Chain A
Amino acid sequence: MSTPRTLHLGVDLTDGGAHAGGWRAQGPVAPRPFDAARLAGLVATAQQGLLDFVLFDDSFTLRPQRGAALQGRLDAALVSARLAPRSAGIGLVATVDTTHTEPFHVSKAIATIDHVSTGRAAWQLGWSTDAASAAVFGRRPAPDEVDALREAEEAVEVVERLWDSWEDDAEIRDEATHRFVDRDKLHYVDFEGVHFAVKGPSITPRSPQGRPPVVVRAGSPLSLDLAGRRADLVRVQATQRDDARAIREEVRDIARDAGRDPNAVRVLVDLVTVVGQDRRSAQERLDLLEELGGEQGRLPEGSLTHVGTAVDLADLLEDWFDAGAADGFTLRPASLDTDLRAIVNGTVPVLQADGVFRQAYPGTTLRDTLGLPRPASRYAAAQ
């Protein structure tokens, strides 16, 4: 391809940040962590920096933390929906579980976020193998990873079929015949899998992106395999550039073997950041976070981590990007507000000046930003 590759940058806004002490870094009193205005402010900052997306992890259990204070999670899909109307350009990635939920509900929830955001939704596939999540639902025992991933893959298949089950031009409003829809353009998905059967069609018309991008967090050989076959965005973890490059090649090989175009898969490396004016002040803030976070208050292990300046961060991103180790990064700020502002004000301008990051959003949808074409409905293509 003649067009230069563009670096992709997302930011993980889950909880108070990648560091468990992140909540408290702004003072002794909780900064209203469940206030939508706080989240909207973070999205505005990310959007100002022209980032590809904000992302919300989710789970049915609380993160273990010493002392019960300042924990708690909101439903990630509803958070994304809440943030959609007053933002533009930036993608909204919500994690929704597939082990304990209904694929039909998942499908219309993500499609609806895509409608209310006019094309900026993505779905990060969740699955649950822990006994605690199984116990709060009480419907079945916890599956092992093999079973959970098989079921997740069935869920992706059903959800994508439901997204395609309305052709784009199904709504006709034909007054002459009094028909609101052309029912030949509404399709039963007739999925019958090992774990569930779903008839369809969806109740929700096809959304602006057709199929919102699917994100898979690949932290094991099995999930990497699923990601290569199914994901538009693959999140990986690596601490060494060469390891990341090998993982990226593996994902692309799996995609190719599955009959997909490997250039339609974006591999993003998770990157935990503690950004300061200089290396020393960044380290000092990390020390403070460790102190506030208590015993479990450490940075996530196994992840690429940058403790230093915003400019050095730009160098790191470009180095990995140029080496083919990543198509981009999912930034995981240790303290959301502080780190995100430092990245937007200090790192993004360097990347732009170096010509590896956009000067404006290229279109209106997340697919536009990611450089992924809008897929036709599989049912329309079949006719």
Chain B
Amino acid sequence: MTTKNRKQIHLGVHFPGVNNTTVWTDPRSGSQIDFLSFEHLARKAEDAKLDFFFLAEGLRLREHKGRIHDLDVVGRPDTLPVLAALAAVTDRIGLAGTINTTFNEPFELARQFATLDLLSEGRAAWNLVTSSDAFTGENFRRGGYLDHADRYRRAGELVDVARALWDSWDEWDAEAGGGIAHPFEHTGPQFDVRGTFTTPRGPQGHPVLFQAGDSGEGRDFAAATADVVFSAHSTFEDGQAFYRDVKDRLAAHGRDRDALKIIPATTVTIGDTPEEAAEAARQIRLAQVPGPTAIAFLEQIWGRDLTAYDPEGPLPDVEPDYDNQAITRGRVRHADPREVARQWRELAETNRWSIRELVLQLTSRGGFVGTPTHVADEIDRFVQEDASDGFILVPHLTPHGLDDVLDRVVPLLQERGSFRSEYAGPTLRDHLGLVRPGVPARAAA
């Protein structure tokens, strides 16, 4: 089948995270720490010719009511060493890691990603995130507290410096006996650094840069800087609007519309019939929101202990304590708790929902549910009609949660010519169709 006229889909796999998307009570749930779990998912995805394997990062264990949150999966290994180890057991799949810019310096990050790119022969990607919270900062010498507005300023300058370091080496030239490092110097509001970069230029020139910010500022940052946007907009209309908005911002930065790929995260549940798939999805949702999880979710807004309430019963009759919103730390906050509480009450009363049912409805993340053919149709439609350039698939089980999707949906996408059957090149930039940046011209010494 010809692939000439079809827009090509890009697909990644997300290793299960430490939130309630990951179901650990299922008997099939494996270790989130054992390297074999990482190896299984990465190799399975590589067999299916996916673009990349994706790892999130955590720098402080989440807390709830002053104690470590214990209902979800807790604990994970360090992002970059896991990716370096995966480079040993895979050959082609991209290796994307999330690293916070707030608790690192540009020299060490540039060095680590250049090393990963060399050790993986051109498969490294950096999902750049920023944070400004003092809670996480308590684990770090610099405290890590940044003014919220300074997050992107620091991130932007950090990327500039990292790219200058990667560009400070000439291309590796075996004939000439190796590589040449040129001195670098940068003076800016955030960083004042100079010297010689230790690590040769990697096969991709610059590792691929992912970015996930969703605010206007975040979108501009992505349009100016990123190669891939890891977005949260996974419904069709939402996706189209986001896609158009971000792609429209590229021209202002002198960039082509294809220079930035938009790849939201999504879940996929398949079954032999639509009914079977829907039932499987419902069972996964129930496992993701057991009673104690539903109560803990409500406590984030109520600001008080609600463990005396029955999760299968109505919402608490007591009023929320709006002054205690720090009850949960290490996760995203709700903007206006008073308004949120009012809406939740209204929803629950109108629909006669229990606490647990309300939380199930509120935390529903959509995702694709149906037969393999239906899911393949939908994924293809999203991409062909510019709601995205592909998806990062998020499983609910470690490490086999995507086996059926990779086995049964990806071949259908290949059959219709929307997804590769073989890798076209060795590097992640090749998979994503991104141009390899060259070494800039240097002033004569």
Query: Is the Cβ of A179 less than 8 Å from the Cβ of B70?
Result: yes
Report how far A112 CA is from B181 CA in the complex, Å: 31
Known A40-B88, A61-B195; judge A100-B108 contact (CB<8 A). Answer: yes
Among A45-53, A136-144, A226-234, the stretch in contact with B: A136-144
Q: What are the residues of chain B within 8 A of A29 when measuring CB–CB?
A: 174-175, 177
B199 on the A face (CB < 8 A):
yes
Report how far A31 CA is from B294 CA in the complex, Å: 59
Q: Which residue of A lies closest to B38 (CB)?
A: A116
Which residues of chain B from 97 to 125 have any CB-CB distance to chain A below 8 Å in the complex?
103-105, 107-108, 111-112, 115-116, 118-121
A222 on the B face (CB < 8 A):
no
Query: Is the Cβ of B77 less than 8 Å from the Cβ of A112?
Result: yes
Query: Is the Cβ of A81 less than 8 Å from the Cβ of B39?
Result: no
Q: How far is the CB of B120 from chain A (nearest CB, A)?
A: 8
For A312-346 the 0/1 string (1 means CB < 8 A from B) is: 00000000000000000000000000000000000
Q: What are the residues of chain B within 8 A of A81 when measuring CB–CB?
A: 80-82, 84-85
Query: Is the Cβ of B24 less than 8 Å from the Cβ of A180?
Result: yes
Among B209-217, B229-237, B285-293, B384-392, the stretch in contact with A: B285-293
Q: Which of B33, B176, B177 contacts A115 (CB 8 A)?
A: B33
Among A72-80, A243-251, A355-363, the stretch in contact with B: A72-80
Known A68-B180, A180-B74, A203-B59; judge A135-B195 contact (CB<8 A). Answer: yes
B273 on the A face (CB < 8 A):
no
A108 on the B face (CB < 8 A):
yes
For B1-35 the 0/1 string (1 means CB < 8 A from A) is: 00000000000000000000000110000000111
Query: Is the Cβ of B81 less than 8 Å from the Cβ of A183?
Result: no
A186 on the B face (CB < 8 A):
yes
Q: How far is the CB of A43 from chain B (nearest CB, A)?
A: 11
Q: What are the residues of chain B within 8 A of A70 when measuring CB–CB?
A: 177-178
B439 on the A face (CB < 8 A):
no
Query: Is the Cβ of B198 less than 8 Å from the Cβ of A61?
Result: yes
Q: What are the residues of chain B within 8 A of A68 when measuring CB–CB?
A: 178-181
Query: Is the Cβ of B75 less than 8 Å from the Cβ of A203?
Result: yes
Query: Is the Cβ of A116 less than 8 Å from the Cβ of B77?
Result: yes
A181 on the B face (CB < 8 A):
yes
B251 on the A face (CB < 8 A):
no
Interface size of A as a range: 35 or more
Among A100, A108, A136, which residue has the most Cβ atoms of chain B within 10 A?
A: A136
Known A103-B141, A178-B292, A199-B138; judge A74-B81 contact (CB<8 A). Answer: no
A85 on the B face (CB < 8 A):
yes
A205 on the B face (CB < 8 A):
yes
Q: How far is the CB of B95 from chain A (nearest CB, A)?
A: 11
Q: Which of A72, A171, A179 contacts B75 (CB 8 A)?
A: A171
Q: Which residue of B lies closest to A29 (CB)?
A: B174
Q: Which of A24, A74, A136 contacts B118 (CB 8 A)?
A: A74
Among A68, A73, A79, which residue has the most Cβ atoms of chain B within 10 A?
A: A68
Query: Is the Cβ of A109 less than 8 Å from the Cβ of B80?
Result: yes
Q: Which of A30, A69, A135, A195 contacts B180 (CB 8 A)?
A: A69
Report how far A97 CA is from B103 CA in the complex, Å: 16
For B28-52 the 0/1 string (1 means CB < 8 A from A) is: 0000011100010000000000000
Which residues of chain A from 96 to 116 have any CB-CB distance to chain B below 8 Å in the complex?
100-105, 108-109, 111-113, 115-116
B435 on the A face (CB < 8 A):
no
For B153-193 the 0/1 string (1 means CB < 8 A from A) is: 00000000000000001001011111111000000000111
Known A75-B112, A204-B75; judge A34-B118 contact (CB<8 A). Answer: yes
Query: Is the Cβ of A84 less than 8 Å from the Cβ of B88?
Result: yes
Known A115-B35, A173-B24, A195-B141; judge A72-B198 contact (CB<8 A). Answer: yes
Q: What are the residues of chain A within 8 A of B139 when measuring CB–CB?
A: 104, 198-200
Query: Is the Cβ of B180 less than 8 Å from the Cβ of A204?
Result: no
Q: What are the residues of chain B within 8 A of A80 when measuring CB–CB?
A: 81
Q: What are the residues of chain A within 8 A of B179 when measuring CB–CB?
A: 68-69, 71-72
Q: What are the residues of chain A within 8 A of B291 when measuring CB–CB?
A: 178
Known A72-B198, A135-B195, A205-B33; judge A105-B115 contact (CB<8 A). Answer: no
A379 on the B face (CB < 8 A):
no
Q: How far is the CB of A291 from chain B (nearest CB, A)?
A: 15
Known A69-B177, A136-B195; judge A108-B78 contact (CB<8 A). Answer: yes
Which residues of chain A from 115 to 135 have any CB-CB distance to chain B below 8 Å in the complex?
115-116, 118, 132, 135
Known A32-B174, A171-B75, A178-B71; judge A203-B61 contact (CB<8 A). Answer: yes
Q: What are the residues of chain B within 8 A of A139 when measuring CB–CB?
A: 105
Q: Which residue of B lies closest to A205 (CB)?
A: B75
Q: Which residue of A lies closest to B105 (CB)?
A: A137
Q: What are the residues of chain B within 8 A of A78 when measuring CB–CB?
A: 80-81, 84, 112, 115-116, 119
B72 on the A face (CB < 8 A):
yes
Q: How far is the CB of B392 from chain A (nearest CB, A)?
A: 22
Report how far A198 CA is from B59 CA in the complex, Å: 12
Q: Which residue of B lies closest to A109 (CB)?
A: B78
A36 on the B face (CB < 8 A):
yes
Query: Is the Cβ of A69 less than 8 Å from the Cβ of B33?
Result: no
A371 on the B face (CB < 8 A):
no
Query: Is the Cβ of A112 less than 8 Å from the Cβ of B107?
Result: no
Q: What are the residues of chain B within 8 A of A116 when measuring CB–CB?
A: 35, 77, 81-82, 85
Which residues of chain A from 12 to 28 have any CB-CB distance to chain B below 8 Å in the complex?
24, 28
Query: Is the Cβ of A85 less than 8 Å from the Cβ of B85?
Result: yes
Among A36, A173, A180, A199, which residue has the most Cβ atoms of chain B within 10 A?
A: A180
A308 on the B face (CB < 8 A):
no
Q: What are the residues of chain B within 8 A of A100 when measuring CB–CB?
A: 105, 108
For A140-177 the 0/1 string (1 means CB < 8 A from B) is: 00000000000000000000000000100001010101
Known A111-B77, A138-B191; judge A74-B39 contact (CB<8 A). Answer: no
Which residues of chain B from 59 to 91 have any CB-CB distance to chain A below 8 Å in the complex?
59-61, 67-68, 70-78, 80-82, 84-85, 87-89
Q: What are the residues of chain B within 8 A of A203 when measuring CB–CB?
A: 58-61, 75-76
Q: What are the residues of chain B within 8 A of A205 when measuring CB–CB?
A: 33, 75
Q: Which residue of A lies closest to B196 (CB)?
A: A62
Q: What are the residues of chain A within 8 A of B381 when measuring CB–CB?
A: none
A201 on the B face (CB < 8 A):
yes
Q: Which residue of B lies closest to A23 (CB)?
A: B178
Q: How far is the CB of B134 from chain A (nearest CB, A)?
A: 11
Known A72-B199, A82-B87; judge A136-B178 contact (CB<8 A). Answer: no
Q: How far is the CB of B418 from chain A (nearest CB, A)?
A: 33
A-B contact pairs, 16 of them (CB 8 A): A29-B175, A61-B195, A68-B181, A69-B179, A78-B119, A79-B119, A80-B81, A81-B85, A85-B35, A86-B88, A102-B142, A104-B59, A132-B195, A135-B195, A137-B193, A198-B138
* Interface pairs A-B: 3 shortest CB-CB: A196-B141, A81-B81, A69-B177
